[in-house]
Amino acid sequence: MDKPSPHRASNKSGGKKPAEKDKKRTNRNTVKIVTIIAMIEGFSLVLWIESEDFGPQPAHFLRSLSICGFLAGIAYLSHKLTSGKFKKPVIALIWLAWVGLCFVLFGIKLEQPKPHVTLSVQIGDSPSARIVLTNQYLESASEVNVITNLPNGTRIFNGVPVGFIIVPMRPGDSNTVFHLVAKNDSTMELDSLQLGVAFPKGWKMGVDSEKWHEAEMNLFDGEYELPLTNAQGMVAMWPNVLYPGDWVNFPPITNFDSPIWHDKSNRISSIRLIAKTPGFREVMAVNVVFIPSPSNFSKPFLIPAALSTNGLHLLISTNELFKKIEDLSK
């Protein structure tokens, strides 16, 4: 029997070694790729989580950086898996696409948050009697006549609000207590808030003089001013920080002699509110009508109005108005 040639044995064992080396090298490369991708993705995830602790602008930067990190992991994996005749151009295209996407991400301008305050009027002590002044009837006005046209294109005109707050007055009631409420409905903190209110001069008002201060009310700030005449103005200040979602109930204001409205009378009055905080100013107006309530119902409500040559009037008749009060009281 012929013995195996030593030369053949040597060749056979030598043939195994390159394959084993290639396998080990492939495994090492796979571990290396996975480790690098895990490090990139992990670092990106940490950046995303930590961005929650920063303000809007730094958070936007960190999140953009985090997304670029996630995309870098994908680009790196695509790089390593690319092969073939056009390997180099494809790899170059992958990284150019990554650079372009990151450039777009960092180029997106984050919209700066703006302060905004929602105003409400609560009549009486019950929070259910609160009316939010964002209704379309309260934000618009019917134009009566133009006073002047300013150089900047602003037109100043006499106008009246086209909405009514109806305040039912129970038998024997004469006082009306106004609670003015402001809510920070923006996404930023408000360092302070000033609220001005103008009531008709004929109303007999009672306020806490340590919190409400007499003031002349102007519809404009700065170069142009338009003082509110035939009105008694007062201002109160909330000096503390209002965080998003916070609201403040300003000290109550009492009208000791609420004028009762009757059909076809001109006893229609309006109040104006001016809210100011750095970067925000809003003026709102609403007509207030006190009517005798046929029952113990006293919750105020909103109805639209219309302006005609005969003046401002409700869009429903007196009978319909009293019927509405009766329906609401049930």
Q: State pLDDT tens for residues 81-134.
A: 888 888 888 999 999 999 999 998 888 876 777 888 888 888 877 776 777 776
Give the span between the Cα atoms of 195 and 284, in whole angstroms: 11
The CATH number of residue 249's host domain is: 2.60.40.10
The verdict on residue 112 lying in a domain is no
Number of domains in the chain: 2
- Is the pLDDT score of 266 beyond 60? no
Domain boundary among the residues 44, 79, 107 is at 107
Supply the range of the domain harboring residue 292: 117-329
In 3D, which of 245, 110, 248 has the Cα closest to residue 187? 245
CB contact at 8 A, 232 and 199:
yes
**Domain match, 138 and 285 both:** yes
**Domain match, 245 and 285 both:** yes
Give 144's pLDDT tier (boundaries 50, 70, 90).
Answer: very low
Q: State pLDDT tens for residues 22-50.
A: 677 777 788 888 888 889 889 989 889 98
Domain boundary among the residues 55, 85, 107 is at 107
Give 260's pLDDT tier (boundaries 50, 70, 90).
Answer: confident
In 3D, which of 195, 299, 176, 212 has the Cα closest to residue 248? 195
Give the span between the Cα atoms of 59 and 50, in whole angstroms: 8
When comparing pLDDT for 302 and 64, which is higher? 64
**Domain match, 323 and 293 both:** yes
**Domain match, 159 and 240 both:** yes
**Domain match, 103 and 172 both:** no
How high does pLDDT run on average in the chain? 76
Domain boundary among the residues 107, 135, 162 is at 107
CB contact at 8 A, 72 and 42:
no
**Model pLDDT, residue 61:** 87
Beta strands in the chain (DSSP E): 117-123, 130-132, 141-149, 155-161, 163-169, 176-184, 193-200, 205-206, 213-214, 231-238, 247-249, 253-255, 269-277, 280-292, 301-308, 311-314
**Domain match, 171 and 190 both:** yes
**Domain match, 20 and 163 both:** no
Q: Tokens in use for 136?
A: 């379309």
Single pTM value for the model: 0.58
**Domain match, 59 and 133 both:** no
Nearest 5°: phi and psi at 27?
A: -65, -45
Give 155's pLDDT tier (boundaries 50, 70, 90).
Answer: very low
CB contact at 8 A, 227 and 218:
yes
